[in-house]
């Protein structure tokens, strides 16, 4: 397939070349993603991931252009025409344009490419910055394959002439030793014994615009001596009992980061300062603990009028963070014995069907789930749905295992739940928090750990 594409690109280049000795050139400052191979032939560069599965196709082609095209749209039209030389290209969307952080304007189309009775996926881009310009073509066997490699491709394009990332924070006064990348638009302020990462719209907000202010106070790392859950509860008491009033029972939600570190966190909405001062908006106070090897770093969060915009930079920051000299060993979130037992949860909604102002039926719904996870690795489960006087019961049994944060049930079907946490409270007893849906590799959101439709809370039967 690559050789066919190279041949087509040579044809188009020859048709547009102003002179026989014109040398095709690419003005795109691209660096191949890690783990990709590069091959150059007749002025065209081809990039291909090394981990492509057998029978799949994903190739990024950057042809050299023998002459200037002028506009981004003209470059895009050249990309489309080039794809048309390979096969019958049918765009699935109108051109979409944007600008990268490095100042490159681009337009892109995606569509199908029919060749020898087969339909491939193809994408064409035209890119321009000042006098520099170029086109990029992508050939793929399917949408899933294209989606699989979209992240490294997008990163490659966005990185062209992009400003250098903010330097990692150096150890600050007081011994803060966490190494991290400062989120874009945030500032890092060293203080005695801490570094405060912050972002606020206070200086730019309009008259009726709410104040949004985020602070993450990074403290020095400490040895991890107790369980992560006990460490979390003890630190919560130390940080908040004297200064804040919160109405929640702190419970560390867990998330395994791609870096291998374990993140434990919780947020208390509607927190109030004990001294009566006005926070200037709806205050959420929280604690994050980043643990790896034999050490952990506590971070205190103070969010005023938090918006969803916080989610992405917060997760990127956590993924970038490393603890020097902590070791690479993964922190074990809990023992399998902690989730053995009989667990139950249920919910009910009371509602009625109404027509012309009159109640015409019962729309109430009850659902309930039970798991009995036996110490010998066997389980039994029951799921009940009751609605309009009808009850459905689904029973299952088989084997269960725990793999890090995954609870795996192998019965009539294979079900995998993400375990967000295991807890024990003197008043509420033991409880288990699982992802609301199974087999979707769900992860809890560090920016909104108690948000709706993320988890189910099971209580342990006496």
pLDDT digits (tens, 9 = 90+) for 356-409: 777 667 767 778 899 999 999 999 999 998 887 788 899 999 999 999 999 999
pLDDT digits (tens, 9 = 90+) for 118-173: 888 899 999 999 889 999 999 998 888 887 887 788 778 878 887 665 444 444 44
Same domain, 234 and 117: no
Same domain, 276 and 130: no
Helix axes 2-16, 72-86, angle to 10 degrees: 130
Same domain, 24 and 140: yes
Same domain, 154 and 6: yes
| pLDDT value, residue 35 | 85
Domain membership flag for residue 178? no
Q: Assign residue 351 the CATH number of its domain.
A: 2.40.128
- Rounded CA-CA distance 44/49 in Å is 17
Listed residues 320, 355, 389: the one ending a domain: 320
- Those residues whose C-beta lies under 8 Å from the C-beta of residue 127, and which sit 6 or more positions away, are 28, 72, 75, 104, 105, 106, 133, 134, 135, 136, 157
Please check the confidence at residue 2 and state whether its pLDDT lies above 60: no
Listed residues 320, 354, 376: the one ending a domain: 320
Q: What is the mean pLDDT of residues 324-331?
A: 88
Domain membership flag for residue 291? yes
Domain membership flag for residue 181? no
Domain membership flag for residue 35? yes
Q: Please give the tally of structural domains in the chain.
A: 3
| pLDDT value, residue 7 | 45
Q: How many CB atoms lie within 10 A of CB 384?
A: 15
Same domain, 116 and 192: no
pLDDT digits (tens, 9 = 90+) for 34-67: 888 888 877 788 899 998 888 888 999 998 887 7
Q: Assign residue 248 the CATH number of its domain.
A: 2.60.120
Same domain, 64 and 147: yes
Domain membership flag for residue 373? yes
Same domain, 19 and 83: yes
Same domain, 203 and 263: yes
Secondary structure (DSSP) of 358-424: EEEEE--EEEEEEEEE-TTSEEEEEEEEEETTEEEEEEEEEEEEEETTEEEEESSSEEEEEEEEEEE
CA of residue 281 relative to chain centroid, distance: 28
Domain membership flag for residue 194? yes
Domain membership flag for residue 92? yes
Same domain, 251 and 204: yes
Q: Assign residue 11 the CATH number of its domain.
A: 3.40.1000
User: What is the pTM assigned to this prediction?
Assistant: 0.61
Domain membership flag for residue 413? yes
Task: Decide: helix, strand or coil at residue 341.
Answer: strand
Same domain, 340 and 313: no
Domain of residue 298 covers: 187-320
Same domain, 36 and 147: yes
Same domain, 20 and 127: yes
- Those residues whose C-beta lies under 8 Å from the C-beta of residue 179, and which sit 6 or more positions away, are 168, 169, 321, 322, 323, 324
């Amino acid at each position: 397939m690559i050789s066919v594409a190279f041949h087509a690109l040579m044809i188009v280049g020859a048709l547009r070349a102003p002179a026989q000795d014109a040398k095709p050139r690419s003005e795109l400052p691209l660096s191949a993603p890690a783990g990709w191979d590069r091959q150059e032939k007749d002025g065209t560069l081809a990039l291909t991931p090394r981990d492509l599965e057998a029978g799949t196709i994903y190739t990024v082609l950057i042809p050299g252009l023998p002459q200037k095209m002028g506009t981004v749209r003209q470059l895009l039209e050249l990309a489309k025409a080039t794809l048309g030389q390979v096969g019958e290209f049918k765009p699935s969307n109108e051109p979409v344009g944007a600008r990268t952080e490095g100042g490159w304007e681009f337009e892109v189309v995606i569509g199908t490419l029919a060749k020898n009775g087969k339909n491939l996926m193809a994408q064409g881009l035209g890119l321009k910055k000042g006098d520099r310009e170029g086109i990029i073509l992508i050939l793929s066997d399917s949408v899933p394959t294209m989606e699989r490699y979209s992240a490294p491709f997008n990163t490659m394009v966005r990185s062209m002439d992009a400003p250098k990332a903010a330097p990692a924070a150096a150890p600050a006064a007081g011994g803060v030793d966490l190494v991290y990348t400062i989120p874009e638009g945030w500032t890092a302020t060293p203080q005695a014994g801490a570094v405060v990462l912050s972002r606020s719209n206070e200086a730019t907000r309009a008259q009726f615009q709410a104040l949004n202010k985020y602070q993450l106070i990074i403290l020095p790392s400490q040895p991890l001596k107790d369980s992560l859950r006990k460490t979390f509860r003890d630190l919560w008491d130390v940080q908040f009992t004297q200064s804040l009033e919160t109405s929640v029972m702190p419970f560390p939600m867990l998330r395994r980061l791609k870096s291998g570190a374990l993140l434990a966190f919780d947020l208390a909405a509607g927190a109030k300062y004990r001294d009566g001062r006005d926070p200037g908006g709806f205050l959420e106070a929280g604690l994050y603990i980043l643990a790896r090897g034999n050490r952990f770093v506590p971070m205190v969060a103070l969010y005023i009028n938090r918006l969803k915009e916080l989610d992405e930079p917060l997760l990127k920051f956590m993924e970038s963070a490393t603890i020097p000299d902590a070791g690479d060993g993964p922190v074990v979130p809990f023992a399998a014995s902690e989730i053995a037992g009989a667990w139950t949860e249920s919910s009910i909604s009371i509602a009625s069907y109404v027509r012309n102002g009159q109640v015409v039926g019962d729309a109430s719904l009850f659902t309930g789930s039970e798991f009995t996870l036996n110490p010998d690795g066997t389980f039994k489960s029951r799921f009940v749905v009751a609605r309009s006087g009808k009850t459905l019961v689904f029973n299952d049994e088989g084997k269960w295992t725990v793999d890090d944060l995954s609870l795996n049930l192998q019965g009539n079907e294979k079900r995998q739940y993400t375990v967000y946490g295991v807890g024990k409270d003197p008043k509420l007893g033991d409880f288990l928090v699982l992802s609301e849906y199974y087999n979707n590799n769900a992860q809890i959101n560090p920016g909104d750990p108690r948000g709706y439709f993320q988890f189910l809370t099971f209580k342990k039967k006496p």
